[in-house]
Chains A and B, each alone.
Chain A
Amino acid sequence: MHILIVEDDEVARDSLAKALREAGHSVDVAGNGLDGLQMASAAGVDLAIVDRMLPKLDGLALVQSLRATGRKLPVLILSALGDVDDRITGLRAGGDDYLAKPYHMSELLARIEALARRGDGSTAENNTRLKLSDLELDRMTRRVTRNGKKIELTAREFQLLEFMMRHSGQVVTRTMLLEGVWDYHFDPQTNVIDVHISRLRQAIDKDFDKPLLHTVRGAGYSLREDE
């Protein structure tokens, strides 16, 4: 994936570029908003990571101008500002996701993967049936089966599984789950998400040989077929 980083903090920019290259992406960097807008408008960029406070052109203005030209490129906004409302302003300006500094690289990489997948449309939002290996989920009938056997889930477990299946093969972080499933944007002090995941794991993996729900150390969880 070809990723554009628009960030004026050199240290953060360089480590981000390095980490993205190590993750197998090609990277372009811009140090101010105007250069960033120009480069983002060019073809060939698959995704942009834009800092909110930039010299010459503010990050939000950059995204707004980009959207005004009809460019649909996925954008992740990084912000060193407060929160609560800043997040909403960022998404309203046309950002697809929002991450506050300081962030874990694993969190950022997971979000980029999710954004890229959303962008190429390979997981149709409207798909009513989701399938991974022998695990099937039907959004219409709200029925989940594994290997043809019906699995009973609570409403929340169903939502959690649906979110995981939409992002199957990717790493999903705890904050992504909290945002995507509960619509909460804060870090709980206790390991509430882990307990929910272990419940779900009990339900879908317990009676089967091949586990599908994996813990990714230091990052989050992943629903995938083990090769």
Chain B
Amino acid sequence: MGPDQRFLGILDTSPFRIAIVYSIVFACGAAALLGAVDFAVSRVVDGSTDNLIEAEVQGLREQMLVLSRSDFIELIEQRSQDQDVRGAVYLMVDPQLRPVAGNVPAWPKEGNEDNWFYFKVSVPYGDETREHEMRARPFHLPGGYRMLVGHDVQERQDVKSLMMRGLIAAVVVTLLMGLGGGFWMGRRILAQAGAISAVATQIMRGDLSQRLPVREADDEINKLAREINTMLDRIEQLTLGMRTVLDSAAHDLRTPLNRLQATAEGAMPGLAPGSAERRVLERVTTEVDHMRSTLDALLRIALAETGTVARETVDLSELVASVVELYAPASEERGIALQSSVAPGATVQGSRQLLAQALANLLDNAIKFTPDGGHIRVLLRGAGKERGGARPEVIVEDDGPGIPADKREIVLGRTVRLDQARKVPGSGLGLSLVAAVTKLHGARLILDDACPGLKVSLKF
């Protein structure tokens, strides 16, 4: 796995995805919370400012009725200079909008909403000046004069922008932390899952002594790994037990057969060739041979079915070509055309010997059942890129009598049908072994009509 792939792998892990989803949710939550606070604060602050302005407007209107214009102007000037009323702004203009009194340099350009003005005023701030946001209410004075009363709302704006910056920072930090946390957890999970899948691959290759790595932590992955390990203990015990049973069965059958063979062969040299006694002994050894080949086939089927066979990388292309080559002269002898098309570079994990025997059994059968002058086709469709990474497939086709559709299941049946098998020449276990070997390699065995004949395909 390259660094890029590993990085992308982390993005695919469930903790990373969960962390991303949660951090987005939390970020939205933080945004909503700050938004709500902002809204509430604005309402309270705006409300009190507006009340202040309205009261001032009301007061000035009353003064306007009792005071002369010059007194009123003086009052405005006074209030404008009054440092106690911080942030209050006044402006009185004549009908040509020229300032008459107040602390705002000019009548603001239009910018009103609901009769409110928003404008900026330069305010001394230490040695320099700053543009402050003002909110003000205009009203008419007698004689075409106009008055503007307002308040500095810059502080409110500052609080608002501070809150906005806080909000953005909160969202960004939440997202970054979620991303980082997710990445870290994803890497942990990936490391653990990687270790587990590496061990699982070894176990699938037949090494049942391997166990999944378990950490101290009591999280669900470790719990799962522990349970799987317990399961593996059990499976190992069962297969070992099965293997022991098979071995002792083999031993208990092979030993007496060997004695029989040895005794018969030992007695033969003393007898004249062609004599009745010698013929009996020859029949005995022939029968021992039959029993031996049946026993071998049964044991191999059982071994394949228990899956206790060591696995290696098998060059399927080489194997198919070599089995075809082994059978080529025998089929030619019978006038059968044995054609083959073998794609290069196909490999499978498994037992070369068992695969070879399965293929040999298929060709044995094909030659046995194809009439003289018939045809047999062996096809290996390779794995690999040209077939889009498809698994290899081996097909053996003949133009013999084939197997009727309703009998195909019986031939492939999981249990070995000795009664069925006895009617066929040979040990009759050929296809049962093929079925067991196919299954051991995780492949599918399909019997089909080759029109005419039998088409057997092994899909890995």
Residues of A within 8 A of B (CB): 9, 11-12, 15-16, 18-19, 22, 53, 80-85, 88, 100-105, 156, 182, 184-192, 195-196, 198-199
Binds A, one of B3-11, B48-56, B246-254: B246-254
Option from B246, B258, B303 in Cβ contact (under 8 Å) with A101: B258
B296 & A9 in contact (Cβ 8 Å cutoff)? no
B303 & A195 in contact (Cβ 8 Å cutoff)? no
Interface of chain B, main secondary structure: helix
The distance from the CB of B357 to the nearest CB of chain A, in whole angstroms, is: 4
Known: A15-B263, A182-B326. A84 touches B367 (CB 8 A): no
B296 & A103 in contact (Cβ 8 Å cutoff)? no
B260 & A102 in contact (Cβ 8 Å cutoff)? yes
A191 & B330 in contact (Cβ 8 Å cutoff)? yes
B330 & A190 in contact (Cβ 8 Å cutoff)? yes
Q: Tell me the complex Cα distance, A7–B214, Å.
A: 47
Option from B250, B258, B322 in Cβ contact (under 8 Å) with A182: B322
B303 & A190 in contact (Cβ 8 Å cutoff)? no
Q: Tell me the complex Cα distance, A191–B333, Å.
A: 11
The distance from the CB of A178 to the nearest CB of chain B, in whole angstroms, is: 8
Q: Name B159-191 residues within 8 Å CB distance of A.
A: none
Q: Name B268-301 residues within 8 Å CB distance of A.
A: 269, 285, 288, 292-293, 296, 299-300
Option from B260, B269, B364 in Cβ contact (under 8 Å) with A188: B364
Enumerate chain A residues within 8 angstroms of B330, measured Cβ to Cβ: 190-192, 195
B329 & A102 in contact (Cβ 8 Å cutoff)? no
Binds A, one of B101-109, B348-356, B374-382, B396-404: B348-356
Q: Tell me the complex Cα distance, A188–B330, Å.
A: 11
B329 & A84 in contact (Cβ 8 Å cutoff)? no
A85 & B255 in contact (Cβ 8 Å cutoff)? no
Q: Tell me the complex Cα distance, A100–B247, Å.
A: 13
**How many residues does chain B have at the interface if contact means C-beta atoms less than 8 Å apart?**
48
The distance from the CB of A104 to the nearest CB of chain B, in whole angstroms, is: 7
Q: Tell me the complex Cα distance, A18–B265, Å.
A: 11
**14 A-B pairs with C-beta separation under 8 A:** A11-B263, A15-B263, A22-B269, A83-B296, A83-B299, A84-B309, A85-B309, A100-B254, A101-B257, A102-B288, A105-B262, A184-B326, A184-B357, A188-B360
Known: A12-B259, A15-B266, A189-B364. A80 touches B426 (CB 8 A): no
Q: List 10 additional contacts besides A15-B263, A84-B353, A190-B367; criterion CB under 8 Å.
A: A11-B262, A81-B251, A83-B303, A100-B296, A101-B254, A101-B255, A102-B261, A104-B261, A184-B356, A189-B430
A105 & B265 in contact (Cβ 8 Å cutoff)? yes
Enumerate chain A residues within 8 angstroms of B326, measured Cβ to Cβ: 182, 184, 188, 192, 196
Q: Tell me the complex Cα distance, A88–B292, Å.
A: 20
A103 & B261 in contact (Cβ 8 Å cutoff)? yes
The distance from the CB of A64 to the nearest CB of chain B, in whole angstroms, is: 19
A84 & B261 in contact (Cβ 8 Å cutoff)? no
B292 & A184 in contact (Cβ 8 Å cutoff)? no
Enumerate chain A residues within 8 angstroms of B257, measured Cβ to Cβ: 101-102
- B368: Cβ under 8 A from any A Cβ: yes
The interface centre, meaning the residue of A9, A156, A187 with most chain B CB atoms within 10 A of its CB, is A187
- B158: Cβ under 8 A from any A Cβ: no
- B39: Cβ under 8 A from any A Cβ: no
Enumerate chain B residues within 8 angstroms of A104, measured Cβ to Cβ: 261, 265, 285
- B325: Cβ under 8 A from any A Cβ: yes
A189 & B426 in contact (Cβ 8 Å cutoff)? yes
Which 9 A-B pairs have CB atoms at the shortest separation, nearest pair first?
A15-B262, A80-B254, A102-B258, A101-B258, A195-B329, A102-B261, A15-B266, A102-B257, A11-B259
The distance from the CB of B44 to the nearest CB of chain A, in whole angstroms, is: 85
The distance from the CB of A31 to the nearest CB of chain B, in whole angstroms, is: 15
Q: Tell me the complex Cα distance, A132–B197, Å.
A: 57
The distance from the CB of A12 to the nearest CB of chain B, in whole angstroms, is: 5
Using CB atoms, name the residue of chain B closest to A84. Answer: B353
A156 & B325 in contact (Cβ 8 Å cutoff)? yes
Q: Tell me the complex Cα distance, A64–B176, Å.
A: 62
- B327: Cβ under 8 A from any A Cβ: yes
Q: Tell me the complex Cα distance, A112–B262, Å.
A: 17
A80 & B309 in contact (Cβ 8 Å cutoff)? no
Q: Tell me the complex Cα distance, A11–B255, Å.
A: 10
Enumerate chain A residues within 8 angstroms of B251, measured Cβ to Cβ: 53, 80-81
- B310: Cβ under 8 A from any A Cβ: yes
A82 & B360 in contact (Cβ 8 Å cutoff)? no
Known: A12-B262, A104-B261, A189-B368. A84 touches B360 (CB 8 A): no
Using CB atoms, name the residue of chain B closest to A11. Answer: B259
Option from B247, B310, B357, B367 in Cβ contact (under 8 Å) with A81: B247
The distance from the CB of B351 to the nearest CB of chain A, in whole angstroms, is: 6
Q: Tell me the complex Cα distance, A85–B303, Å.
A: 10
